[in-house]
């Protein structure tokens, strides 16, 4: 008997919207993105798992002209024109004091106290958890019919000084978000991915 055919819980159209047809767009429709939509995406993707339920990602929405300009100014020059074309810019940050929230999220006071004394571990955990949540967030934006390009190419210290000073938030990745341009995603030819034959092993 051969393997069972996989029955996805999402239909082919949903799988295309989330993965196979979705691109890292640099061209967008003119339609603005409502901040409330971003908040609704957050409320969905907040349920994705993180280590010890640390949920360290925070999100700054650069809605004002000043905040938007600061994001673009602190990006690498090659990223600036692409960011300028995105109707809404977001800064995903890790909260280096994420452990302060552990007890209120149902975790233990002692876990929070241990982390309070271990900034190196906190940095590693908050980075890992934030990048994981950033992945959930990308898929959530796509589920809301939005297109997004993530950006790691920016001056993190400069971004933090311009937008996040006086907070425990440290920028990790930018998102240029908008509704997809009807004709051109602007992401060029699709690059390859590793197939299961290449990247998956059964031990």
Helix axes 119-143, 35-45, angle to 10 degrees: 120
Query: If binding is defined by CB under 6 A, does position 127 make contact with ligand FMN?
Result: no
By Cβ distance, which residue is nearest to ligand FMN?
Answer: 153
Q: Closer CB to ligand FMN, residue 99 or residue 126?
A: 126
CA-based torsion, 186, 192, 195, 199: positive or negative = negative
Interface pattern 59-98 for ligand FMN (x via CB under 6 A) = --------------------x--x----------------
Length of the chain, please? 203
Q: Which residues of 20-59 are buried (b: 16+ CB within 10 A; e: fewer)?
A: eebbbbbbbeeeebeeebbeebbeebeebebeeebbbbbb
Among 152, 157, 161, 184, binds ligand FMN (CB under 6 A): 152
Cβ proximity to ligand FMN, 150 vs 178, nearer residue: 150
Q: Which residues bind ligand FMN (CB under 6 A)?
A: 23-24, 79, 82, 149-153, 173, 187, 190-191
């Amino acid at each position: 008997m051969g393997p069972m055919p996989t029955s996805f819980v999402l239909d082919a159209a949903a799988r295309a919207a989330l993965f196979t047809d979705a691109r890292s767009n640099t061209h967008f429709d003119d339609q603005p993105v409502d901040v409330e939509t971003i908040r609704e995406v957050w409320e969905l993707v907040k349920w994705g798992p993180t280590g010890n339920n640390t949920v360290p990602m925070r999100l700054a929405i650069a809605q004002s002209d000043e905040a938007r300009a600061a994001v673009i100014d602190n990006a690498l020059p090659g990223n600036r024109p692409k960011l300028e074309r995105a109707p809404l810019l977001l800064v995903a940050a890790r909260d280096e004091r994420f452990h302060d929230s552990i007890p209120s999220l149902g975790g233990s006071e002692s876990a929070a106290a241990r982390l309070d004394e271990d900034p190196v571990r906190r940095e590693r955990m908050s980075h890992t958890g934030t990048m994981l949540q950033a992945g959930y967030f990308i898929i959530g934006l796509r589920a809301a019919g939005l297109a997004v390009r993530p950006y790691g190419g920016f001056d993190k210290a400069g971004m933090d000084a311009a937008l996040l000073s006086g907070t425990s938030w440290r920028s990790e990745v930018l998102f240029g978000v908008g509704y997809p341009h009807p004709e051109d995603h602007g992401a060029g030819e699709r690059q390859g991915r590793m197939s299961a034959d290449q990247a998956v092993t059964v031990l």
